[in-house]
Amino acid sequence: MNGQILEKIRKAKLVGRGGAGFPVADKWQMVFDAKGDKKYVVCNCSEGEPGPKKDGWLIWHYPDRIIDGMRLAIEFLGAEKGIFYLNQEYYKKYKKILEDEILKAKAPIELFAKPHEAGYIGGEETTVLNVIEGKRAEPRLRPPFPVTSGLWNCPTLVNNVETFYNVSLVARDEFKNLRYYTIGGDCIYEGVFGFSADMTVGEVLKQTNNYPKYDFFVQVGGDGSGEVWSSKQLDKPAVGAGSIRVYSLSKYKPNDLLKQWIKFFKDESCGQCTACREGTYRLAEILDEDKPNWPMVADLLANLNDSAFCGLGSAVPIPVTSYIKNVLAAYPEGKTNLPMGAKRLITSCFN
């Protein structure tokens, strides 16, 4: 099985389920080819963004498959050991279950509890490595990449929970190319659901009986950094969507939503780079004003996109800009929960 697993993964066209969609076989090959006396395997189960709960759901239902996927990676790479990196909630909840499965698998896998103070940024791939090494929770400059210089400067494979789960299915010829989505918000049936990877967001909502009959929009990917789509844009594939959150259009005031998203990024910024640290602080400050300076908001978001050190900072514009362009601009003035004329001012700054 050890010699065949890479070819099976390649033939299945399995891509990582952590969001980037990188081919799993290519990543495993890079770590295999990298020079180093020791190699490591890390399962990233930080899941620190509001919304996604699929990794925890998978651990609860299929802990054996996840551990098996890690074991296969360790054996294929000849790795020193595997480290299962869990957020505090999951560590407390699933510690015993995972320890039992590790014992059954006779695999050299250790559990590691992500410190609470590591926050959302503690789930970024290179930050995970820093935290495990006992360093500050902040991203590393790349290159070098973890596949050649990861834990303790050794080649390291980092995949997420759903990816290792799928590796086990591929090995057993049970892989059906499903993706798991956390559905929540203003809908009836919240929870985690698995569907074919080529399904659209609209189809996922309809299949789960969560397609609203009222005016709504969705946030796809996560309740913090996810992209916002109107109800007329749901024919797009749900690929990479760890979560789908439904929002009733009449329920939320635009300023409240924007404040909510910016507060998330401000609170979770590691403070390493000035653009993110100062930019998110200033954005929160402006949005708290009675009459926000919208041209300044647009300029700050553009600056963050161009100059932030890591993915957290560059993700700040995603929910704000997509909401303004896809939702706010598409609805009549009287349906936006804004004073007359405000919609035109805001949308004009983001053309």
Q: For the domain made up of 254-348, give the CATH fold.
A: de novo design (two linked rop proteins) (1.20.1440)
Q: 5-171 architecture in CATH?
A: 3-Layer(aba) Sandwich (3.40)
- Domains of the chain, by residue range, sit at 5-171, 178-248, 254-348
Torsional sign, CA 335, 339, 341, 346: negative
AA identity, residue 285 = E
Fold agreement between 5-171 and 254-348: no
Q: What does the pLDDT profile of the chain (351 residues) look like in tens digits?
A: 566 999 999 999 999 887 777 899 999 999 999 999 999 999 999 998 888 899 999 999 999 999 999 999 999 999 999 999 999 999 999 999 999 999 999 999 999 999 988 888 888 999 999 999 999 999 998 899 999 999 999 999 999 999 999 999 999 999 999 999 999 999 999 999 999 888 999 999 999 999 999 999 999 988 888 999 999 999 988 776 689 999 998 888 888 999 999 998 898 888 778 888 888 999 999 999 988 999 999 999 988 878 877 777 788 899 999 999 999 988 777 766 777 778 888 888 887
Residue 266 contacts residue 298 (beta carbons within 8 Å): no
Structural tokens at position 41? 């395997």
Q: Are 223 and 265 in contact (CB under 8 A)?
A: no
pLDDT at 240: 66
Report the 3 state secondary structure along the chain. Answer: CCCCHHHHHHHHCCECCCCCCCEHHHHHHHHHHCCCCCCEEEEEECCCCCCCCHHHHHHHHCHHHHHHHHHHHHHHHCCCEEEEEECHHHHHHHHHHHHHHHHHHCCCEEEEECCHHHCHHHHCHHHHHHHHCCCCCCCCCCCCCCCCCCHHHCCEEEEEHHHHHHHHHHHCCCCCCEEEEEEEECCCCCEEEEEECCCEHHHHHHHCCCCCCCCEEEEECCCCCCEEEECCCCCCECCCCCEEEEEECCCCCHHHHHHHHHHHHHHHCCCCCHHHHHHHHHHHHHHCCCCCCHHHHHHHHHHHHHHCCCHHHHHCHHHHHHHHHHCHHHCCHHHCCCCCCHHHHHHHCCC
Picking from 143, 197, 174, 170, the residue whose alpha carbon sits closest to that of residue 73 is: 170
Q: How many CB atoms lie within 10 A of CB 37?
A: 7
Give, in words, the CATH class of 178-248: alpha beta
**Residues in CB range of 243: below 8 A, 6 or more apart:** 51, 52, 53, 54, 181, 182, 183, 184, 219, 220, 221, 222, 223, 226
For the segment 49-85, what is each residue's pLDDT rounded down to a tens digit? 888 899 999 999 999 999 999 999 999 999 999 999 9
Residue owning tokens 């050190």: 309
Contacts of 260 (CB under 8 A, 6+ apart): none
74-78 long-range contacts (CB < 8 A, ≥24 apart) are: 74/41, 74/107, 74/108, 74/109, 75/2, 76/2, 76/5, 76/6, 76/28, 76/32, 77/28, 77/31, 77/32, 77/39, 77/41, 77/155, 77/157, 78/39
